[in-house]
Structure 1
Amino acid sequence: MDFRASAFLALAAPVLAALVTMAPARAENARAAPAQVARALGAWELSNPAGDRKCEVAFKPERAGPGFAIGFHADCASLFPAIGAVSAWSVAPSGAIRWLDRAGTAQFEFDETELGIFESLRPGDPTVYFLTNLGLAGQQPPAADEVAGIWTLGQPAGRALCTLDLKAELAADAGALEQRFALVVTDGCERSIAALGLASWRLEREILVVAGRAGSLSFRRETDGRWIKTPQDNRPLVLGRP
């Protein structure tokens, strides 16, 4: 992640924290994991399969009616008239991106087909719509064997808080088709981390999630190989190799 993206997420973090816990009128965003919302912020491109129609789209963190604010380049409406009713975006619990009208009805639902590339088919509309996250497309998602092993959890420029052993074996309670692996926390873990009862880890595309009986933490990998907690907040955490 470059400096501009990091700064953008840092500024957006308080808004995200509020929006993903909003009550019933925005229940869909409340169910979406904060990390799913954070990964969607920023610059996107809407296109057709041939690539001869393209326009820029911005996913913003500000609240807008039933979801979050969305910005379309001036030529988008003429290239893709179907977006005329779109006034907000949201993330479904599955990770799908939804474009909503003012009433909160989904006008588009984009499913992720590969990292950072989403596709939508609309009933009665012959066009296939592609939505590309310009910050993610073209990247290779991490593999489980790259992530397994010993990690130190701590503050970016401070002390270590805990040592985590991300096992290569599946968690004991993992389902038959579930890629959720065992995690062991060492003794002497800082109290707030120990209280989570962390016991498993998994990869959700490019996001690493460590989970326990009382909560979870999500991380995204930096270019230096460390993993930074996402979304960013007033207590940043980093996973690094000891």
Structure 2
Amino acid sequence: MTGRLGIAFAALLAAMICGSPARPQDASTLKKDMVGQWELSTTERSKTCVVTLRGDSTAQGMRLELEPGCAAALPFTKDIAAWSVKGLDIVRLQDAAGQPVIDFTEVESGIFEGLRTGEGIYILQNLAAARSLAKSMDQMIGDWSMVRGNGRPICGLTLTNTETTPDNFAVFLKPRCDPAVTAFAPTAWRLERGELLLMSASGEVWRFEADDNAQWRRVPDSVDPLIMLRQ
């Protein structure tokens, strides 16, 4: 990808995929906003399911449709019969008796999180945004440079599309990297909820967010920031 396309992509990802803080709203507005197609997934998107939330009511609640592969990907979805909004901000996927299968709350604009005890956290997000993120991961592949806040390069690295584990891809450092990066020794990368994650074999994670200058800046920020730029 050229430098101009790289800048355009990072700006788009920052503006559209990172999202903005969840907006306060009432139950009727939330119900209206939820009508449409959504992706239900594990946090790393290794297992996904398309859920279509309808605006009409049934005896069980608001009508929904699950794609045929949902039960195989996420077994708990076989119990979902309808959806509803509880309180001001809870989106509930419920069984035929109206009991919750999983409750979601909005954590960013268009991104909801829900917890199933003993299983972990699941994500519900707009289907178009989820598919845009998957496409964006492909566009991240290539050579990058790590620089300090003063612009001094400290390492080159290559993000690949070689899958190491589900939804994680191989990353390779180039020679003569700064000792801090060499000691970290990232072996895998992925995009997660608008962040670029670099992960080491020991489980250490460095997180980067796209900033206003179409760069990826390590978070939390510091007085001597670490920035990733397209080469």
TM-score normalised by the chain length of structure 1: 0.45
Higher strand share: 2
Larger radius of gyration: 2
TM-score normalised by the chain length of structure 2: 0.47
Q: Which has the higher contact order (CA 8 A, sep 6+)?
A: 2
